[in-house]
Amino acid sequence: MPPPSHPGRGRRRPDLRALRAALPEPVRAVVTGYERHLGLERGLSVHTVRAYVGDAVSLLGFVVDGGDALAELDLARLRAWLAAQQTGGASRTTLARRAASARTFTAWAHRTGVLATDPGGRLAAPRAHRTLPGVLRAGQAGEVMQASAAGAAERDPVALRDRAIVELLYATGIRVSELCGLDVGGADFSRRVVTVLGKGGKERVVPFGVPAAEALDDWITEGRPKIVAETAGDGVEPALFLGVRGKRVDPRAVRRVVHDAVSAVPGALDMGPHGLRHSAATHLLEGGADLRSVQELLGHATLATTQLYTHVTVDRLKAIHDRAHPRA
């Protein structure tokens, strides 16, 4: 049976909340079960669950709106859904992610008896473009830290917080979600390490250096108490980093902090927390760290991901070859 025709479908991503609410009740129940599986059984982050469920809702809305029952979801309909995304302007990277998301859903639906077969197992998608992100040069990173320290010279509590955020992000290479999730007890100053909760609920310990320790100490002893004193009407938040209203700092605020700090350095690429993460990994490798150690620090499940995140210069590779290869 050929896939249903959906003229005009995919011009823009629909309101997924409205689309979910419009699904037939049995299909909504399937979505709810899938959401519970992702969050409770697999332990995925809130953002990852939202993305996976959003893709499932988009797929199911496409199928059901075409007059087909969920049980009739097959490879042809999966391909038609992806084609609609491509018509709507989705990039190769987005198509690859949505195809992977669809495969995750159909595999779960087959295991739980929702689908008689797993059509996603045969679904192919364009390979995502593996573009290397821009990074700061080591000298530029130092200038960013200096600019952040200069802003904190007046001992304003928010400026002290911002300096500690920038220093810690660059010192550790942790994700913005991991930084925002840190509690006060997560920083061990005696060993100079932070304990973060990464993707999939995996905990890891990441070290930081003296400059980050000094910035954190200034924030915890001077800046944070002032914000707590001004805002703690409903109790003290355990978060390490607080917003101006005394609640756990928001990732958007952290992105703004990093953008402002980087923009103070002439010629530096505009970037957010992820750019500092890339920069930290690159500078570790260029300084002689091995790839496996950087993988552990960044919390990557596979070495291939670490290789994508890092920029190993040709000169460094040549130097390693000259030192290590007997025929160099």
Contacts 24+ apart (CB under 8 A), 203-206: 204/296, 204/299, 206/172, 206/173, 206/174, 206/297
The answer to whether 19 touches 61, Cβ cutoff 8 Å, is: yes
**Of 192, 248, 274, 316, which residue is the catalytic one?**
274
Cβ(270)–Cβ(161) under 8 Å? no
175 is catalytic: yes
**Residue 300, SS3 per DSSP:** coil
Q: Which residue bears the tokens 């200069």?
A: 150
Q: Which two tokens stand for residue 177?
A: 């979600």
Closest CA to 165 of 281, 85, 251, 80: 251
Catalytic (active site) residue 255: no
Of the candidates 175, 224, 278, 283, the residue annotated as catalytic is 175
Distance CA 73, CA 4 (A): 11
- 37, 224, 277, 278: the catalytic one is 277
> Cβ-count burial of 280 within 10 angstroms (0-12 exposed, 13-18 middle, 19+ buried)?
buried
**How many other C-beta atoms lie within 10 A of the C-beta of residue 150?**
12
User: Following DSSP, what letter does each residue of 24-62 receive, concatenated?
Assistant: -HHHHHHHHHHHHIIIIIS---HHHHHHHHHHHHHHHHH
274 among known catalytic residues: yes
Spatial separation of the C-alpha atoms in residues 301 and 309, rounded to whole Å: 13
| Residue 311 annotated to the active site | no
Please indicate whether residue 325 is annotated as part of the active site. no
Query: Helix (H, G, I), strand (E, B), or coil: what is residue 200?
Result: helix
The residues carrying an active-site annotation are 175, 199, 274, 277, 300, 309
